[in-house]
Structure 1
């Protein structure tokens, strides 16, 4: 039962990460590129920035967030390093 709860919470974290990354990379980088291009960031159009850099930065940030949350989850369920 504990193992099932652990994996359910792990999968929930993975789906949250995938949803955020999808919204940033596909939503901001492709679907909303025109409205975002009205805003400038460092001299570049924001839609272009999200398509080129934003999704990569978001992905790296999600890696650190996921690692932090998994460490908390491991402590919660007393999972030891193997």
Structure 2
């Protein structure tokens, strides 16, 4: 693998991680803490949406992001022809 190839792979990996961390921050901190009062006007299953994000939504979001990261890295490894034995 050439140094340019390595650099491009690492840059794509960091871009992916940055995007996923921004999504996680938005869901957990933004919806669960900063926007909790406006979201509490909406009800989900009888509970205020802000409370749901603070208690369960951020965890579900994190689990979803783990699967998205695994699938995206699998695609990225195929794109850069990196094989793991």
Establish whether TM, by shorter chain, passes 0.5: yes
Matches of residues 39-58 of structure 1 in structure 2 within 5 Å?
39-58=42-61
Please name the residue that 1:13 is paired with. Answer: 16
Structure 1 runs, 4 residues or longer, greater than 4 Å off: none
Alpha-carbon distance, 1:75 to partner: 0.2
In the alignment, structure 2 segments of 5+ residues that lack a partner are: none
Residue by residue over 1:2-55, the C-alpha shift from the partner in whole angstroms, topping out at 9 and shown as x without a partner, is 000000000000001100000000000000000000000011100000000000
Give the TM-score, by structure 2 length: 0.94
Length, aligned pairs only = 82
User: What's the C-alpha RMSD, in Å, of the aligned pairs?
Assistant: 0.6
